[in-house]
Structure 1
Amino acid sequence: AIWAAARSGHPLLFRGETTDHARQRCRAEEALRNQLLSALYARCSRLLYIGTRSREHFLRLGCPGERMVFSPYCVDSTSFRSTEPDRTALRARIRSEWDADDDVAVVLFSGKLVERKGCRLALDAASEIVQRSQGSVLLVFLGDGPLRDELRKRADGHPGVRVFFAGFQNQRALSAYFHGADLLVLPSRHSETWGLVVNEALSHGLPCVVSDGVGCAPDLVEAGVTGEVAETGSVESLSEALRRGLLLARRLEIRQQCRAKVATFSVGRAAAGVAEAFFEVAGSEGGAHAAPADLGG
């Protein structure tokens, strides 16, 4: 469809999970990728970048800045119960289900239980925290996948860390988990072009600890403000980031900062970026149109 539109002379707007960090490539593969993507982008009238790393990708391939428009990566949060009154209503109930008293630090992992997501790292890092501080940590795995049984067995070797497997939950049930937790962890090893679960967590006021391999880290995770960033693949770095992250937990001002950080990455702002790109191209084709600043949401 892209090439057909290009051959017919119709303007192209391109928006995708563009990034260079998500996986390592050999020199030949990287050269071929660069050549093909450069040819594609040259045919596009506007390139819509979803975040910092997306824009850096376009710039690295020589795309002019005047053809770029910000259209952030986002989630539809209409089904969430993400306010402070919602937190009050949901937090105590689900922590009771987890048998997690106030002195228990609850760290939430939300995603598929696969190798690339760094599930084992989360468990090992939580164990280090317990060994250093003699505190109590509950690691909640929200999601399912092939590593579930291995993680259950691995947890037996980490005394002091309790593990709760919540399985897959539909989106309407997620708010209770985000409100019940003290911290979200996403220690992805590779192929995490963005990490929408961070958007979801921050919208509930939940600070996040992510690896520097997570695509949204430069945009959404600000150290000491909305969470912490750890070195990819390092248990020690992740453990230290979790320790710092837990210092942010349960603080109203931190929850407010989390919600403010992610507010720009809304459906309305993403739609406004698409509209801006469209009207810019339509105007250059002979029509004068004013693009909306935001479309709500």
Structure 2
Amino acid sequence: MKDIIFVNSHPIQYFAPMYKFMNENGVKTKAWYCSDFSIMGGFDIEFGQKIKWDIPLLEGYEYQFFKNFSSSRKSEFWRFVNWGMIRTLFKCPKSIIILHGYHYFTHFSIIMLGKILGHTICLRNDIPLSHELLKKGWKQKLKRFGLRYVVFPRINYFLFIGTQNKLYYESFQIDKNQLVSCPYAVDNERFRSLQYDKNEIKKSLGVPLNDRIITFSAKYIEKKRPLDLIQAFHKLNLDDCWLIMVGDGKLRKIMEEYISSNKMSKVILTGFVNQQEIPKFYAVSDLFVMCSSNGEHWGLSANEAMNFNLPLILSDLTGCSNDLVVSESNGYVFETGNVDELTSRIKDVLVLNKLTATVTSKELVDNFSYKIVLDNLVKLC
């Protein structure tokens, strides 16, 4: 059986536990990293502060960091130039190599060389077709030509994360035998094992015990559209409901100004919350909302919330909306940017109790697990 090697820009909090899981279940899984940014900690421009994740990112699997020779901070393509990783490609045994994208020099080079060297090259790009269709112009046409005739012929398998991502690959006429389901997932078992005293958490937040909570968990940045939810909450005007915005970012000042000018006393902006603390907000919540726009290729916070069986309201440009919401059962999908529709959907859930729960969020997210990823990748070995 071939080893599986994931190539990533840096250790990622959602992926590292999956590598550990795969090793614990008999599949030798390694990771090659272009940078140690997330281990050392550093300034995150979108959060607007220095961060360092508080969960283990290097436990339970083999990993290797490679020196980055790039001096560019402006060009996305030249951001990572890892000659050592490319040299290792020539020396290591034939492996299943999974790349998260092709947009860095290092990733692009491995795609160009890997298949020739006898490796099985897999692409786990997460672009949804719905986002791709928004891109116009000659640059987009040139990019698609290059992908179809230069990059994609050098890839053995395309690992789609969900419905929209599969449609993206199919738009390039990829052979169906090359398409393999490899869903985006979080550590479902870890989230479900957590136990909280909901009353104590509410007390610590200053929320009355019988009041309901809507939770948002994301950076306060343009593509996440946090102000849409604040505006919808203001329109909703429920006396016994709170809105908790878990996160931080450059839109915070604008959000605070709106909250202040409209005298909204039941909105909490938490600031940056690390991985160990985020689940407690899901545990006390009654509804999870994500209102992202173009650029939200999936939205793994939704997976997290589903492990607490929360109903979801997702915008139609949130990449996971086709997969994680069964309309009128565990939630609703609304038109991105349509605050009136978002307000109406929140009312449908919290006031009119329209959800049937024929299929629950917890049941749905079982289809997006590390085990399913493992089962499908083993077939390639």
- What TM-score range do you get, normalising by the shorter chain? 0.7 to 0.9
**Deviations, residues 30-84 of structure 1 (Å, cap 9, x unaligned):** 212211221322222221111001111111110111211111111124542557x
In the TM superposition, 1:19-168 aligns within 5 A as 19-22=128-131, 24-39=134-149, 40-81=151-192, 86=195, 89-130=196-237, 134-159=238-263, 162-168=266-272
| TM-score, scaled to structure 2 | 0.66
Residues 266 and 248 of structure 1, relative CA distance in 2, 3 Å threshold: farther
Counterpart Cα distance in 2 of 1:175 and 1:148: 22
Residue 121 (structure 2) aligned to one of 12, 29, 35: 12
* Distance change (3 Å), C-alpha of 1:42 and 1:245: farther
What 5-or-longer segments of structure 1 have no aligned partner?
A: 280-297
Q: Is the 8 A contact 1:184 1:209 kept in 2?
A: yes
With a CA cutoff of 8 Å and minimum separation of 6, indicate the structure with the bigger relative contact order.
1
In the alignment, the residues of structure 1 paired with residue 311 and residue 209 of structure 2 have an alpha-carbon distance, to the nearest angstrom, of 17
Aligned pair partner of 1:258 in 361, 365, 377: 361
Change (3 A) 1:172 1:27: same
Shift of 1:10: 3.4
Partner in structure 2 of residue 271 of structure 1: 374
Q: Whole-Å Cα distance in 1 between the matches of residues 188 and 262 of structure 2?
A: 36
Contact kept in structure 2, 1:126 and 1:161, CA below 8 Å? no
- 1:125 offset after TM fit, Å? 0.5
Say which SS state the counterpart of residue 185 (structure 1) adopts.
strand
How far apart are 1:173 and its partner, in Å?
1.5
The secondary structure found in structure 1 opposite 2:212 is strand
Alignment CA distance shift 1:111-1:27 (3 Å): same
Mapped contact 2:192–2:307 kept (Cα < 8 A): no
How far does residue 248 in structure 1 lie from its aligned partner after superposition? 8.6
* TM-score, normalising length: structure 1: 0.83
1:4-37 deviation line (CA, Å, top 9, x unaligned) = 1133353322222132223632221321221122
Secondary structure of 1:210 counterpart: strand
Work out which of the residue numbers 179, 197, 201 in structure 1 matches 2:283.
Answer: 179
8 Å CA contact 2:329–2:358 kept in 1: the answer is no
User: For the Cα contact (< 8 Å) 1:47–1:69, is it kept in 2?
Assistant: yes
CA distance in 1, matches of 2:300, 2:166: 18
Change (3 A) 1:248 1:60: farther
Aligned-pair CA distance for 1:93? 1.5
The residue aligned with 1:289 is: none
Judging by fraction of residues, say which structure has more helix.
1
Residues 173 and 81 from structure 1, CA distance in 2 versus in 1: closer, same or farther, beyond 3 angstroms? farther
Q: Between Structure 1 and Structure 2, how many residues are aligned?
A: 269
* Structure 1 residue 160 displacement after superposition: 5.1
**Aligned residues with identical type, % of pairs:** 26
> In structure 2, what is the Cα distance between the partners aligned to 1:150 and 1:20?
31
| Corresponding residue of 2:112 | 3
Residues 126 and 137 of structure 1 are in contact (CA less than 8 Å); yes or no, is this contact kept in structure 2?
no
Which amino acid is the alignment partner of residue 240 of structure 1?
A: S
What residue is the counterpart of 1:294 in the other structure? none
- Identify which range, 173-182 or 153-162, moves more after superposition: 153-162
Q: Are the counterparts in 2 of residues 82 and 175 from structure 1 also a CA contact under 8 Å?
A: no
Q: Which residue of 1 is the match for residue 43 of structure 2?
A: none
Q: Which runs of 5+ in 2 are unaligned?
A: 1-109
Q: CA deviation at 1:118?
A: 0.8
Between 156-165 and 41-50, the greater mean CA deviation after superposition? 156-165
The structure-2 alpha-carbon separation of the partners of 1:90 and 1:22, relative to structure 1 and needing over 3 Å to count, comes to farther
1:51/1:216 contact within 8 Å kept:
yes
Matched residues in 1 for 2:358 and 2:276: separation?
20
8 Å Cα contact 2:129-2:168 kept in structure 1: yes
SS of aligned partner of 2:206: coil
Greater shift after overlay, 190-199 or 91-100? 91-100
Whole-angstrom CA distance in 2 between matches of 1:113 and 1:159: 20
Shift of 1:120: 0.6
Moved over 6 A (4+): none
